[in-house]
């Protein structure tokens, strides 16, 4: 398995590794040194990237990209993924090829955007199964474009919009195709004519979400399987004991933004200001990658570095978050509604799906304290949001439309 330090992408991918090990398989992880301890705790052997870009600490200064510098969704996605897809693809390929020679795997399982790892597996003729640890965001015909957070097209105008956005995304990615083909050429592979064919041509593409939640699921290629969300808490989540008196029955509101630095401090402060004026019990978890404490606790809002979200969600009435895929799926699996404040990356699109299913509302990252307070009151007070979240929880619990991720990997023929 090859991974990059993408924050919320790591826990579900390591959870897949744990499931493989529990079924008797051996897993070797090639990733940033920051992932070493968690990978080894999961039972994997580990080696770090050497040539490829990597992080050695969770300090914000080591972020590989600064996606907060733009609000243009297409530019933002390029800024997020090009640092791992394109420029260093040759270096990721070289490190992956070296690991394949050392480990002799039956299957290579890269994060879907580690194009260099896909190149190495393809060149060395090892079956490749990509993990997509979020909703479907690879540009393909028939889906709403990734980035803007659009609802699915229902009219001819909407379908024209999607086709136009796909054409723009294809044209933008064309500029990166020569560099990607150089990396392929270095490993004896023929050039591609379309940028995202590097990912779409894998033997399997396994999407770690619910196809009921992800309205793109109706349009994905035949080699794509939805295997459902993996809901394990990260290994660094610390134990938590509620700080409130036992007789306090105010609704619990969990606040959780990105575990990596997205300049979320100002938003967190406004959320805390909003909750402080309401009859709720607020819990804010900051995550590993946020720098100095961006916000302080108040009389009814506790601010902690981390807490086991699944434990908190069992009692929560509401989650206020950036709509990263991990926290979103844990929240909906618990039947809890949401106030979504996306900060970038795939979060706008995940939030669009929450709103589409009626399980929450979406606010801009610039939303004022009063607007956040009004949204919290609305979602807590309107039972329809909770009912719709419960409907999604049932679909997730039943595994509706999903297959078993380990069985999918076991079905590949082996090296």
Q: 334-349 pLDDT, tens per residue?
A: 999 999 999 877 899 9
pLDDT at 24 over 80: yes
Mean pLDDT score, 104-130: 96
Task: Give me the pLDDT at residue 360, please.
Answer: 97
Query: Range with the lowest mean pLDDT among 37-41, 237-241, 328-332?
Result: 237-241
More confident residue, 72 or 220: 220
Distance of CA 202 to the CA centre of its chain: 20
3-state secondary structure of 226: strand
Superfamily of domain 252-398: Glycogen Phosphorylase B; (3.40.50.2000)
Query: Range with the lowest mean pLDDT among 60-64, 104-108, 125-129, 293-297?
Result: 60-64
Q: Which segments within 185-337 are labelled E, that is strand?
A: 204-207, 224-226, 252-256, 281-285, 301-304, 316-321
Task: Give me the pLDDT at residue 264, please.
Answer: 75
| Topology alike, domains 7-228+400-410 and 252-398 | yes
More confident residue, 155 or 8: 155
Q: Locate the domains of the chain by residue range.
A: 7-228+400-410, 252-398
Q: For 37-96, how does the pLDDT look when each residue is reduced to its tens digit (9 = 90+)?
A: 999 999 999 999 999 988 886 665 556 655 555 555 555 555 555 555 676 899 999 999
> Which positions ≥6 away from 387 have C-beta within 8 Å?
none
Task: Give me the pLDDT at residue 76, please.
Answer: 57
pLDDT at 16 over 70: yes
Mean pLDDT score, 324-339: 95
Q: What's the sign of the alpha-carbon dihedral 12, 14, 201, 188?
A: positive
CA distances, 261 to each of 114, 128, 289, 374 (Å): 21, 31, 6, 27
Task: Give me the pLDDT at residue 176, please.
Answer: 86
3-state secondary structure of 108: strand
pLDDT at 150 over 70: yes
CA distances, 257 to each of 32, 210, 290 (Å): 22, 21, 10
Q: For residues 224 and 203, give the distance between their C-alpha atoms in angstroms, rounded to a whole number.
A: 9
Superfamily of domain 7-228+400-410: Glycogen Phosphorylase B; (3.40.50.2000)
- pLDDT tier for residue 261 given thresholds of 50, 70 and 90: low
More confident residue, 62 or 151: 151
Average pLDDT, the chain: 89
Q: Using N-to-C axis directions, what is the helix angle for 89-103 and 177-186, rounded to 10°?
A: 30
Q: Name the nearest CA neighbour of 32 among 59, 13, 4.
A: 4
Q: What is the dihedral of CA 251, 331, 342, 352, to 10 degrees?
A: -110
Mean pLDDT score, 122-142: 93
Phi, psi of 60 (to 5 degrees): -55, -30
- pLDDT tier for residue 257 given thresholds of 50, 70 and 90: confident
Phi, psi of 303 (to 5 degrees): -110, 125
Q: What is the DSSP letter of 25?
A: -
Query: Range with the lowest mean pLDDT among 200-214, 276-290, 347-361, 373-387?
Result: 276-290
Q: For residues 351 and 323, give the distance between their C-alpha atoms in angstroms, rounded to a whole number.
A: 6
Extract the tokens encoding 339.
Answer: 């106030």
Q: For residues 92 and 178, give the distance between their C-alpha atoms in angstroms, rounded to a whole number.
A: 17
- pLDDT tier for residue 312 given thresholds of 50, 70 and 90: very high
Query: Range with the lowest mean pLDDT among 253-257, 258-262, 383-387?
Result: 258-262
- The kind and range of the H/E element at 129 are strand 129-132
Task: Give me the pLDDT at residue 390, please.
Answer: 97
Listed as own residue / partner, the contacts of 177-184 with beta carbons closer than 8 Å and 24 or more positions apart are 179/86, 179/87, 179/89, 180/85, 180/86, 180/89, 180/115, 182/90, 183/89, 183/90, 183/93, 183/115, 183/116, 183/119, 184/119
The residue with tokens 């194009």 is 115
Contact between residue 330 and residue 313 where contact means Cβ atoms under 8 Å apart = yes
Mean pLDDT score, 235-261: 84
Task: Give me the pLDDT at residue 236, please.
Answer: 72
Q: Give the sheet arrangement for strand 129-132, strand by strand.
A: 129-132, 204-207, 224-226
Q: For 161-203, how does the pLDDT look when each residue is reduced to its tens digit (9 = 90+)?
A: 888 888 888 888 888 899 999 999 999 999 999 999 999 999 9
pLDDT at 130 over 90: yes
3-state secondary structure of 206: strand
């Amino acid at each position: 398995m090859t991974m990059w330090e993408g924050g919320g992408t790591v826990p579900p991918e390591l959870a897949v590794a744990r499931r493989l090990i529990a079924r008797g398989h051996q897993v070797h992880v090639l990733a940033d040194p920051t992932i070493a301890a968690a990978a080894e705790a999961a039972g994997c052997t580990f080696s770090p990237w050497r040539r490829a870009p990597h992080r050695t600490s969770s300090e914000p200064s080591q972020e590989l990209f600064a996606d907060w510098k733009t609000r243009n969704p297409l530019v933002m996605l390029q800024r997020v993924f090009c640092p791992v897809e394109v420029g260093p693809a040759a270096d990721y390929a070289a490190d992956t090829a070296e690991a394949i020679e050392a480990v002799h795997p039956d299957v290579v399982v890269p994060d879907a955007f580690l194009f260099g790892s896909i190149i190495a597996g393809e060149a060395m003729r090892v079956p490749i199964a990509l993990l997509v640890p979020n909703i479907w965001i690879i540009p393909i015909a028939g889906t709403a474009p990734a980035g803007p957070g659009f609802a699915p097209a229902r009219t001819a105008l909407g379908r024209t919009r999607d086709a136009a956005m796909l054409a723009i995304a294809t044209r933008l990615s064309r500029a990166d195709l020569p560099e990607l083909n150089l990396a392929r050429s270095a490993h004896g592979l023929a050039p591609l004519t379309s940028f995202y064919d590097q990912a779409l041509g894998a033997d399997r593409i396994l999407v770690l979400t619910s196809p009921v939640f992800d309205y793109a699921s109706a349009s994905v290629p035949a080699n794509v399987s939805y295997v459902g969300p993996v809901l394990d808490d990260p290994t660094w989540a610390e134990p938590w004991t509620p700080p409130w008196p036992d007789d306090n029955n105010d609704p619990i509101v969990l606040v959780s933004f990105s575990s990596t630095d997205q300049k979320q401090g100002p938003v967190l402060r406004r959320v805390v200001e909003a909750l402080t004026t309401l009859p709720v019990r607020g819990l804010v978890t900051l995550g590993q990658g946020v720098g100095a404490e961006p916000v302080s606790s108040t009389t009814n809002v506790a601010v902690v570095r981390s807490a086991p979200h699944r434990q908190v969600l069992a009692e929560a009435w509401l989650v206020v978050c950036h709509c990263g895929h991990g926290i979103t799926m844990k929240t909906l699996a618990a039947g809890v509604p949401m106030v979504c404040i996306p900060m970038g990356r795939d979060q706008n699109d995940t939030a669009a799906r929450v709103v589409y299913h009626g399980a929450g509302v979406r606010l801009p990252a610039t939303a004022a304290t009063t607007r956040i307070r009004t949204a919290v009151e609305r979602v807590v007070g309107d039972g329809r949001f909770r009912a719709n979240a419960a409907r999604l929880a049932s679909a997730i619990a039943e595994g509706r439309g999903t297959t078993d991720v380990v069985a999918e990997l076991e079905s590949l023929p082996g090296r």
